[in-house]
Chain A
């Protein structure tokens, strides 16, 4: 197995595992968001709503699509892994900003924010984010596609150029 194949395989495994985790937790989050809560939802910190679940499922599906393509030997599948990582980090930033803004509110104006605890809104989008972050840090220079081969459209000897131009 060449180093190239090994990298592809590692990325495929990473995408598959991360994707499945996001999809599974996204489904749980969606159920919890629709009101089907229990001890399991508290244990998994499923504090968001159904839409939070929806976005986790989308991120997971993008990753799994990347896994499928990489497994089939399609190098372009790395695009799905890369975008999946960026989407996952975007939603983690949304969560993080929300926590930061709430602490800012608690610190400056109190009121509804008094006694605010970040664990109250902790969700899978945030605690799963170290995975995509690790992926991004590990492969940040490696998300490139290789040339698909040379193709020229030039050097055709067309003598009638000036016949077309006045």
Chain B
């Protein structure tokens, strides 16, 4: 018989019926972040996987398959979570999948080197009634460290099959697959659960009996899990009772419950159990300082941590610029040659101009920047994969905490170096509304990959050997503006104290070539795909604007583009920009890549397809090092692109905050660019 307080009969029967219908098994992978869950998923599924989105959200859903002992196993990689409380979107996705989709088996991936914290999720997963198999990952690291884990005792206490694995070395996979199939085939299963003491257990029993009266609830949810969550005051679970016949009785039973106190008491009981289990199942034979601890003494050092971070970033940007420029120059030369050939050989003058001055200049000048984008993303991927970026966030947290900001904000900020859209979406993991809004509003100041071409172009044209340093300076400016804006918001419109921040440091390891290259390629491909879509369209529109009305000189002040630019030119004249810059910046509002593309059309499309750098540095362009510095600052800070504005609106749910983001960034960009321009002139950069 199933345990009275354990998995409810109907709930389990539903899953078993489905299991017998076919030999297809659905296996979910759950675990804390950074325990090697995705590596294990990759080791189990190999190339047989695809990535989609969880319904209604843009969190990645990875699904992969594998055949084993006559079963088709479908693996689902759930987001990493520390608990099953509905604090963040990741936790809701994970628990909804386990509870509502009732997978045949849940692999609980546990970091063998950090069992104390990982087992907290185990105690919660056990309450869901899911059939669990524990993959004790990084077992080799734990052994090398000197830990002795008594697997039999662990299995005995938890009543869960425990398989030692090392996802990175792909060991333990066969045994894990065997255990999954055996667990799914097992007729009867029961595993232990945490007891919460007489008083709480009495309340849980009453709630279970009450909930059991509604078959709509008892067939859908494990009742002990639901009762525990109701006692903890989980609003998300209470909402699931809406319209049920038991809603009122349940509410009545909860009226005198002090949810906060109960939650604390339950958490304490879980940790008591964990301590007791580890006391008998884990023996640390020798406590060694690991190489990660060793490296962290330096890289997270109180005084040296941030200077080392700055030095590393400078090195990364210098490397990006110097290594990529010859390759960019080769692509530039190829496009200039192609453009010249088209101008000479296409009979139709307007078609030749459209192809050479419009499409080749616009799209070509965006593709020129594929090498720096690739190198920068490659370096960031290496830093991320080694575990260093987590340390960077830790180092920055000290500064941010001193400014009253939430440490979790820095991770979306770092993601913003790639693209601001997913970075803003990732702020969903920040529970506090004010912390989240601040993080969303400052994210566009982090320079995304689309802005890099403008910086590379202008720095290369005007700053010579110091180009790498100039680009580094612009990125640092972005971080500084973001931090100061966050401070401003925290002390004015979004007053309050930041929520406490606990961050886990992943262990340092050598980056995986495959993973690094796949991340880099994914991001570079996104940039290149844009060149073939939005940039192509933008380049054609800019060409028409620069050519119409028919008969005017291409790209002259008399063209439509010239007229629009001239109309707005007085607004940016104090910054040293002419009407062509205005047009480029206007198009940059659609997508930041279009700034470089438009500059390519308006400055690069000379006779025979001249080089854009020559076009920019030509005295007739009106640009100099001072205005170039101002333009770099303006491009960094001004109004985010349309996609980012859209996601700010969606995530804040407020047109006022969205408008604030647009106006604030535009005004700030103007002021900073003005300051840079004037300072540059004073330094003799004019």
Contact = CB atoms under 8 A, between A and B. Distances in A.
Interface of A: 47, 49-51, 54-55, 58-59, 61-62, 65, 76, 79-80, 82-83, 87, 90-91, 93-94, 97-98, 100-102, 104-105, 108-109, 111, 113, 121, 144-145, 147-156, 158, 160-161, 163-166
Contacts of A160: 276
B113 to A, nearest CB: 14
Given A150-B286, A153-B283, A161-B157, 10 more contacts: A76-B294, A79-B295, A91-B311, A97-B322, A98-B322, A101-B324, A102-B322, A109-B326, A113-B326, A164-B269
A160 B277 CA distance: 10
A147 B287 contact: yes
A90 B315 contact: yes
A163 B198 CA distance: 11
B325 interface: yes
Given A58-B307, A154-B279, A165 B287 contact: no
A161 B304 CA distance: 45
B139 interface: no
Given A49-B466, A165-B195, A94 B315 contact: yes
Contacts of A82: 294-295
A148 B290 CA distance: 11
A62 B308 contact: yes
Interface in B273-290: 273, 276-289
A165 B192 contact: yes
B403 interface: no
Contacts of A50: 469
Given A55-B314, A153-B284, A109 B465 contact: no
A132 to B, nearest CB: 14
Nearest to A144: B291
Interface in B322-349: 322-326, 329-330, 333
A58 B309 CA distance: 10
B105 interface: no
Contacts of A90: 312, 315
20 contacts: A49-B465, A54-B314, A58-B304, A62-B298, A62-B304, A79-B295, A91-B315, A97-B323, A98-B322, A101-B326, A105-B325, A145-B288, A145-B289, A150-B287, A153-B278, A153-B279, A154-B283, A156-B280, A164-B269, A164-B276
B284 A101 contact: no
A76 B298 CA distance: 10
Contacts of B157: 161, 165
Nearest to A153: B284
Contacts of B195: 163-166
Q: Which 4 A-B pairs rank lowest in CB-CB distance, beginning with the nearest?
A: A154-B283, A105-B326, A98-B322, A164-B273
Given A62-B304, A108-B330, A151 B284 contact: yes
Nearest to A90: B315
Contact of A108 (B295, B307, B326): B326
Interface of B: 3, 5-6, 146, 148, 157, 192-195, 269, 272-273, 276-289, 291, 294-295, 297-299, 301, 304, 307-308, 310-312, 314-315, 318-319, 322-326, 329-330, 333, 465-466, 469, 472
B294 A51 contact: no
Given A76-B294, A109-B329, A161 B287 contact: no
A164 to B, nearest CB: 4
A103 to B, nearest CB: 9
A147 B286 contact: yes
A111 B150 CA distance: 68
Given A158-B279, A166-B192, A150 B299 contact: no
Contacts of B312: 87, 90
Contacts of A61: 304, 307
B326 A98 contact: no
Contacts of A154: 148, 278-284
Contact of B308 (A58, A79, A101, A152): A58
B contacts with A: majority SS: helix
Nearest to A56: B311
Contacts of A91: 311, 315
B322 A164 contact: no
A164 B314 CA distance: 54
A152 B283 contact: yes
A8 to B, nearest CB: 16
Nearest to A107: B326
Contacts of A59: 311
Contacts of B318: 94, 98
A100 B322 CA distance: 9
A158 B285 contact: no
Contacts of B5: 166
A162 to B, nearest CB: 8
A49 B471 CA distance: 14
A121 B465 CA distance: 9
Contacts of A54: 307, 310-311, 314
A90 to B, nearest CB: 6
Nearest to B269: A164
A51 B289 contact: no
Q: Which of B277, B286, B322 has the most CB of A within 10 A?
A: B322
A81 to B, nearest CB: 9
A105 B288 CA distance: 49
Contacts of B304: 58, 61-62, 65
Nearest to A120: B465
Given A80-B298, A161-B276, A150 B285 contact: yes
Given A62-B308, A154-B279, A166-B194, A83 B285 contact: no
A166 B494 CA distance: 46
A61 B318 CA distance: 22
A93 B333 CA distance: 28
A76 B310 CA distance: 24
Nearest to A151: B287
A150 B273 CA distance: 25
A113 B283 CA distance: 63
Contacts of A155: 280, 283
Given A83-B299, A111-B329, A154-B279, A55 B315 contact: yes
A51 B313 CA distance: 11
Contacts of B333: 109
Given A109-B333, A145-B294, A166-B193, A101 B273 contact: no
B676 to A, nearest CB: 18
A47 B192 CA distance: 68
Nearest to B279: A156
Given A49-B465, A76-B297, A163-B195, A58 B311 contact: yes
Nearest to B613: A112
Nearest to A104: B326
Contacts of A147: 146, 286-288
A37 to B, nearest CB: 14
A62 B298 CA distance: 8
B194 A164 contact: yes
A58 to B, nearest CB: 5
A76 to B, nearest CB: 6
B514 to A, nearest CB: 22
A152 B285 contact: yes
Nearest to A81: B298
Contacts of B307: 54, 58, 61
A12 B86 CA distance: 52
Contact of A97 (B273, B278, B310, B319): B319
Contacts of A83: 295, 298-299, 308
